[in-house]
Amino acid sequence: MKKQNKKKPIIIAHRGASGYRPEHTLGAYELAIEMGADFIEPDLVTTKDGILIARHENEISATTDVSLHPEFSDRQTKKNIDGTLKNGWFTEDFTLAEIKKLKARERIPQIRHQNQVYDDLYSIPTLQEIINLVKIKSLEKGYEIGIYPETKYPTYFHNIGLPLEEALVETLHNNNYQGEQAPIFIQSFEVSNLQKLSSLTNLPLVQLLNLDSKPYDFVNSGDPRSYRDLTTVEGLQEISKYATAIGIHKNLLVPRDTNDKLLPPTSLVTDAHAVNLLVHVWTFRNEDVFLPLDFQGNPQGEYEEFFQLGIDGVFSDFPDTALDAIKISNK
C-alpha cells in the first residue's frame, strides 16, 4: 500500500463482521466482505504443527466448543501467557487436524445473544483458507479485498519454538502478496517482531498502540518505554523507520473522562501524518456499552467524530455501520 493519506478511510472488519457472527470464522469474514469491508482482520496464533490459524487468543475455551470434547479433556492446563496465568486449552497443544474437530462460538453471548444461533456451525479457519476466501470473493466482486493479519503473542510463540513471523511471510509470499502495494497490512502489539518482519518482507507493517501498558517484548527485555512513549514525536519517528501505519486505541486520539464523555482530541493524527504514518483506529462497535456517553444509541456519530479528525481507517465489528457513516460523511 502507498504511504500516503487516503481521502476515504478504509474499513477493516475486526475479526470479520464479528457483531453478527462468531468472530474469526469464514462466515464472519464472508459477511464482512458482502457488507463492503475493504479489509478483513484475522488475529493469528499457531498450532503444534506450525500452521497459522485465526484466533484472538491461543487459549480457546471462550470462543470454541473445546471444553465439550472428552478426547481433549487431558489437554486442559495452566500456562503463563505474557504475565497472566491462564487455565484452559491452548492452540499450540493441538495439531491442525485436532483443531479442525472444534467449532467456533460467540465470544460475548451476554451482549450478542442473537449470534448464538451460529454457534457450532463454523470450524477454526487457517490463514490459507482465509486467503482462499479473499481471492475467490475478490474475483467475484471485481475489486481487491485486503487482509489485515495480526501476530498474537509473538514473544511467547518465539520462546516455545513456534515463531509466527517466518510462517506468516512464507504464506503471504507464496500467495503472491509481495511489496509495498500489496493489499495487506501486518500488525503487532510488539515492536521487535515488526522490526524482524521488516527484514523479511516489504509488505506494509502496522505498529499497534494500546493505552496504559507496554509492548510485551519491552517487558521481556527490560525496555522502560510504554505505548504512550511511542506516541510522542520521537516515538512516531522511530516507528516510521519500519512501519507504514499505526493502529491505535481510539482513546489515544479522543480521550474520555471518568463518565465516558469525550474530551478534546490529541495531536496524534497530525503527528503521525507528519512522519508519513497512516492512522487506523480500533475498535468501533454499535452497542451502547462500548460507545461514549456522547453517542449512546448513535454509533454512526462516533465514526463521524473520528473521520473529521483525518484518520485513515477504522477497525469495526459492524462494517455496514462504518460504511453508512462514511457515506453520510461524504455527502
Interface with Ca ion (CB under 5 A): 43, 150
Number of other CB atoms surrounding residue 241 within 10 Å: 9
282 belongs to the binding site for ligand G3P (CB under 6 A): yes
Q: What is the three-class DSSP state of 152?
A: coil
> Is 113 a catalytic site residue?
no
- In the residue annotation, 24 being an active-site residue is answered as no
Note whether 106 binds ligand G3P by CB under 6 A.
no
The Cβ of residue 329 has, within 10 Å, a number of other Cβ atoms equal to 15
CB of 148 to ligand G3P, least distance (A): 8
Residue 90 or 148: the one with the smaller Cβ distance to ligand G3P is 148
Left if phi > 0, otherwise alpha if psi is -120 to 50, otherwise beta: which for 242? alpha
Bridge pairing between strands 84-88 and 77-81: antiparallel
Half-sphere exposure of 180 (CA within 13 A, CB side): 7
Residue 98: name its binding partner from ligand G3P, Ca ion, none (Cβ under 5 to 8 Å by kind).
none
| Residue 59 contacts ligand G3P per CB under 6 A | no
- Which member of 24, 56, 158, 280 is catalytic? 56
The answer to the question of residue 208 lying near ligand G3P (CB under 6 A) is: yes
Q: Which 3 state secondary structure label does DSSP give 181? A: coil
Query: With respect to ligand G3P, which residue has the nearer C-beta, 307 or 315?
Result: 315
Question: Interface with ligand G3P includes 43 (CB under 6 A)?
Answer: yes
Host H or E run for residue 244: none
Least distance between ligand G3P and beta carbon 255 (Å): 17
Q: β-strands 150-151, 146-147: how paired?
A: unpaired
311 binds ligand G3P (CB under 6 A): no
Look up residue 150 and give its three cell numbers.
495480526
Asked if residue 315 binds ligand G3P (CB under 6 A), the reply is yes
Q: Which does 299 bind (CB under 5 to 8 A by kind): Ca ion, ligand G3P, none?
A: none
CA gap 176, 178 in Å, rounded: 6
Residue with smaller CB distance to Ca ion, 271 or 311: 311
285 belongs to the binding site for ligand G3P (CB under 6 A): no
- Binding ligand G3P by CB under 6 A: which of 187, 231, 300, 321? 187
Q: Taking a C-beta distance cutoff of 8 angstroms, is the pair 165, 193 a contact?
A: yes
Total length of the chain: 331
Which of 283, 288, 294, 310 contacts ligand G3P by CB under 6 A? Answer: 283
Report the alpha-carbon distance of residue 134 to residue 136 in Å, rounded: 5
43 or 59, CB closer to Ca ion?
43
* Cα-based angle 178, 173, 91 (whole degrees, multiple of 5): 130
Q: Which is nearer to ligand G3P, 30 or 150 (by Cβ)?
A: 150
CB 155 within 8 A of CB 216: yes
> Which residues are annotated as catalytic?
14, 56
Applying CB under 6 A, the residues found at the interface with ligand G3P are 14, 43, 56, 150, 187, 208, 247, 282-283, 315
